Amino acid sequence: MPNALTRRLEEYTALTDADCRELAQLAAQSTLTIGPRRDLIHEGDAPRSVYLILDGWACQYRTLPDGRRQIVDFAIPGDLCDLNLFILDRMDHSIGALTRLRVAEIGRDILHGVITTFPNITTALWWQELVSKSIHREWIVNVGQRTAFERIAHLFCEMFLRLESVGLTDGFSCDFPPTQADLADATGLTAVHVNRTIQELRRRGLVILDRQRLTIPDLGALQAAGLFNAGYLHHWRLNRHALINGVTDGGRGPDGPKLRAIA
Amino acid sequence: MPNALTRRLEEYTALTDADCRELAQLAAQSTLTIGPRRDLIHEGDAPRSVYLILDGWACQYRTLPDGRRQIVDFAIPGDLCDLNLFILDRMDHSIGALTRLRVAEIGRDILHGVITTFPNITTALWWQELVSKSIHREWIVNVGQRTAFERIAHLFCEMFLRLESVGLTDGFSCDFPPTQADLADATGLTAVHVNRTIQELRRRGLVILDRQRLTIPDLGALQAAGLFNAGYLHHWRLNRHALINGVTDGGRGPDGPKLRAIA
DNA sequence: CGTTCAGTTGACCATGATCAAGAGTGGTGG
DNA sequence: CCACCACTCTTGATCATGGTCAACTGAACG
């Protein structure tokens, strides 16, 4: 596998050979492997490095005092976990491994060096940061407005496309390690209800999910079921497509009419 | 009122006099006033400027094709609406005015100039960007895990502290323009349920809310009711406090025990 | 093979949604 | 100054989506 980070960042900006070499080096410099269900870093810790996911899945999550847990994002190879360290003194969330996880640890000073000498990379990093913020917004919408059925469908679409953008899909299929309990924590549902909802998705032929393997026979249909619009991922390859089904509101402000056709 | 942006950014970094003068100029250069319930910019538009809120409240929101609307953040004076323009070709959300709104429009080129000549400001801007991402994470938790009662309490705490950090509170009180329908769209509830929940908050003496005016007689009690922990706002003045009730999880990874005492 | 963890099923329940109607409040024009 | 209109807030009755609790099945791994 070539560097997933390179692939990810090229989604946003053109990189030179020198940029790519630098990225490859970053990924190789100081790697770290941790087992599934362990924390990479924990809420309240002082961040010491940025983590680049090389292999496996992680999740960012926050817990409430009584133990309720909300996953706020999944992280897959090529994802860079929070540039927070430059800025924030304390982690406001945890990062946990869902699978065996291989990450590159990039120290503050090294990253700082990269940023001052490789402007393309810097641009791409901030780009990625803004995109991941956009993904957060979409998660708020997902949890706040969509039905259980739509939420799960939406999440499957999102993760499939994100995996696809780093070359981790295989036709209509991809690995999909989160358990139903994980999906529950990501969607604000219970595991029981996630289970029933996935069964409904299966019954309708929208997904095949077995042994950590997800297959989406008809992505368009699943997108429709999840009210999914890829625009928020800001992948340029998808953008043309996104512009077609992009705009959903006529511009009447926060109190406009509630019913409106898809463009 | 001095420049709320200055106040906001000084929450994060020390600014020189020259920095402050530059910020004051940015805020004065090209201002724009729009009426309540109108859009500043709309989902799908190409962003042309960054908007700095000078006066009034706005909200960032996204709509689903069938008209469901989710507010993903409120914007108050001193807030800078999405540095997206540098990066993203299309707005993935809209910004709408909740009140009469006065904003400064900062063009791409001007902002670019600032970024290349005022490193402190640049740092502070990115800081603000990362903090607002952290706020998004908290909103996911709010909508995903908290009960209606906790959600509303949490939102009141957050907005009160954010207003306080730009000097827009007056003792225990502040202006609070969102309607109950707005609060519903922000919390993923219905307006009816928001109404009943606010009544419950009033009955318990946690808030006084009348005519767009919010009073919080006992912020600590409201924070407890909303499971609110100010750490995610990353205000340094609050940080000492945040560290006290900060950590909520023992570090056992995403599958740790579900019950756990408050520190 | 037994233990563990993920997935599945069933019965019942509750939080919050929906629908509908009425009461304040504030702004506008006659 | 008052009448009207629009909008927000409030209340009640009923409903449904999704939660809770509990038991059981089946894979995977040592």
Q: Which among A42, A70, A261 has CB closest to B141?
A: A70
Return all residues near B116 (Cβ < 8 A) that are at least 6 apart.
none
Q: Which among A38, A43, A145 has CB closest to B247?
A: A43
Q: Is the pLDDT assigned to residue A188 strictly greater than 50?
A: yes
CA distances from B27 to A202, B102, B130, B250 (A): 54, 10, 21, 45
Q: Is the pLDDT assigned to residue B262 strictly greater than 60?
A: no
**Rounded to an integer, what is the distance from CA B229 to the centroid of its chain?**
15
pLDDT at A243: 40
B22 DSSP 8-state letter: H
Per DSSP, what are the bridge partners of residue A152?
A: none
- What is the full DSSP assignment across chain A? ---HHHHHHHTTS---HHHHHHHHHHHHHSEEEE-TT-EEE-TTSPP-EEEEEEES-EEEEEE-TTS-EEEEEEE-TT-EE-GGGGT-SS-SSEEEESSSEEEEEEEHHHHHHHHHH-HHHHHHHHHHHHHHHHHHHHHHHHHHHS-HHHHHHHHHHHHHHHHHHTT-EETTEEE----HHHHHHHHTS-HHHHHHHHHHHHHTTS-EEETTEEE-S-HHHHHHHTT--GGGG--HHHHHHHHHS-----S--TT--S-----
pTM of structure: 0.91
- A65 and B187: CB-CB below 8 Å? no
Q: Which nucleotides along chain D are within 7 A of a protein C-beta? A: 7-13, 17-22, 27-28
User: Helical H runs in chain B?
Assistant: 4-10, 17-29, 108-117, 119-145, 148-165, 180-187, 191-203, 219-225, 236-244
Return all residues near B211 (Cβ < 8 A) that are at least 6 apart.
none
Q: Which nucleotides along chain C are within 7 A of a protein C-beta? A: 5-11, 15-20, 25-26
Rounded to the nearest 5°, which phi and psi values hold at B61?
-145, 160
pLDDT at A145: 98
Tell me the average pLDDT across A122-131: 90
Percent share of chain B, pLDDT over 70: 89
Our CA dihedral for B5, B239, B248, B158, rounded to 10 degrees, sits at -30
Per DSSP, what are the bridge partners of residue B81?
A: B51
Q: State chain A's mean pLDDT as an integer.
A: 88
Q: Is the pLDDT assigned to residue B248 strictly greater than 80?
A: no
Return all residues near A62 (Cβ < 8 A) that are at least 6 apart.
A43, A69, A70, A72, A92, A93, A94, B137, B138, B141
Residues with CB under 7 A from strand C: A 179-181, 191-192, 195-196, 198-199; B 147-149, 188-190, 192-193, 211, 255
For an interface test with A, the pick among B34, B73, B92 (most A C-beta atoms closer than 10 Å) comes out as: B92
C1' nearest to CA of A151: which nucleotide?
Answer: D18
- A43 and B246: CB-CB below 8 Å? yes
Question: Whose CA is closest to B107, among B46, B26, B41, B5?
Answer: B26
Per DSSP, what are the bridge partners of residue A46?
A: none
Lowest mean pLDDT among A102-111, A145-154, B174-183: A102-111
Tell me the average pLDDT across B233-247: 55
Q: Terminal CA-to-CA distance of chain B, rounded, Å? A: 39
Residue appearing with tokens 């509170």: B169
Cα distance between residue A70 and residue A43, in whole Å: 13
C1' nearest to CA of A148: which nucleotide?
Answer: D18
Cα distance between residue B223 and residue A54, in whole Å: 39
Q: Which tops the pLDDT comparison, A71 or B8?
A: A71
- B177 CA to D2 C1', in Å? 29
- A191 CA to D30 C1', in Å? 27
Q: What is the pLDDT of residues A208-260, one digit of tens each?
A: 999 999 999 999 999 999 999 999 999 876 554 434 333 333 333 333 332 22
Which chain A residues are within 8 Å of B132, Cβ to Cβ? 133
- A42 CA to C24 C1', in Å? 50
Which chain B residues are within 8 Å of A154, Cβ to Cβ? none
Largest CA distance in chain A: 54
Q: Is the pLDDT assigned to residue B260 strictly greater than 60?
A: no
- A259 and B67: CB-CB below 8 Å? yes
pLDDT at B210: 94
pLDDT-derived band of residue B252, with 50, 70 and 90 as boundaries?
very low
Number of A to B CB contacts under 8 A, please give it: 228
Q: Which among B37, B65, B242 has CB closest to A254?
A: B37
For an interface test with B, the pick among A63, A140, A151 (most B C-beta atoms closer than 10 Å) comes out as: A140
Which chain B residues are within 8 Å of A83, Cβ to Cβ? 130
B259 DSSP 8-state letter: -
- B217 CA to C3 C1', in Å? 55
